[in-house]
Amino acid sequence: MAKILISGGSGLIGKALINKLTEDGHDVSILTRQPLKNNAVKSYFWDIEHFKIDENAFDGIEHIVHLAGCGIADKKWTHVRKKEIIDSRIKSAKLILSILNKRNIKLKSFIGASAVGIYGTRTSQTIFQESDFSTEDFLSQTCLAWENVYSKFDYFTEKKVILRLGVVISKNGGALKKLLPIFQLGLGSAIGSGKQYMPWIHLDDLVSLILESLFNRIYRGTYNAVASEHITNLFFSKQLAMALNKVFIMPAVPSFILKIIFGERADMLLRGSRVSNKKILENYFVFKYPDIKSALLMM
């Protein structure tokens, strides 16, 4: 049984990960602004904005999974919101790091979330690998700063794994949960040209990948947490309509409308490139949902 501390435990990924870890008998605790009494999972207070944390959360901790970060697409990208997006990732990591340093804690593993946004919001024929990155837009700059702060954890852990997440597929949250009501009404459509690629991974596979990163010694370094199948937005939209037994007849949502509604955030929807998962396949990782059809049929 391992003792594991999770930040971002109240989110979609965190909840699924906690369920699996506790099911497997591990001692799991989380960092949260609103600690709750729970026999299965202990919760400890932290306040990222004011750089406060309950140090008791770190007693006996062997592993840390850092998932904290406010939603990228939830609100308009004002100057204030952009600062929140960055701080929720960078300051939270620095807060954890400060306690590891203060108490000279040595972990067995540190798992840090990042995103495929590090490659930039662009559509190209390049298949991006872990050695690639961009600094051309807000998302890529945020991801790069996110990963740079992780470099400071090397001294405090036997191994470190950074997972660059694609779109996480789950009916319980994320992008799919927002799309389901629209497609269930038969109003689903592609976005913009529909030719933009959408790197993705099913939530179950992501949880399995995090577990491998925690306990499998061969996992070290940075990995693209995406499925093998490269799909476009148009292909995804058609598959989702098919999975719901709906006819796919609606015209694509024009790019200019999305830009009016979402502003700078629209680029996340209108652009996207392929991302390689060769590194995790070389570690013999087996996907439960290797293609989007199987992932959507399990809704």
- C-alpha closest to that of 181 among 231, 233, 246: 246
Give residue 194's identity as a one-letter amino acid code: G
Residue 148, helix vs strand vs coil: helix
**Residues 60 and 3 sit within 8 Å (Cβ to Cβ):** yes
Could you give the CA distance from residue 45 to residue 53 in angstroms, rounded to a whole number?
A: 6
23's enclosing H/E stretch is helix 12-23
**Residues 22 and 177 sit within 8 Å (Cβ to Cβ):** no
Could you give the CA distance from residue 160 to residue 162 in angstroms, rounded to a whole number?
A: 7
Give residue 110's identity as a one-letter amino acid code: F
Chunked into runs of 10 residues, the chain (299 residues) has average pLDDT values of 94 95 95 81 94 96 96 87 93 97 97 95 90 89 95 96 96 89 90 94 98 97 97 95 90 81 78 95 97 88
Give residue 105's identity as a one-letter amino acid code: I
Residue 214, helix vs strand vs coil: helix
Tokens encoding 90: 């960078």
| Beta strand 52-53 pairing with 41-47 | antiparallel
CATH code that applies to domain 3-167+201-226+274-287: 3.40.50.720
Tokens encoding 242: 């098919």
**Residues 158 and 107 sit within 8 Å (Cβ to Cβ):** yes
* 12: Cα within 13 Å, side-chain hemisphere: 18
- C-alpha closest to that of 53 among 62, 44, 65, 61: 44
Tokens encoding 284: 């013999």
Tokens encoding 89: 């990732």
Question: Which pLDDT belongs to residue 267?
Answer: 81
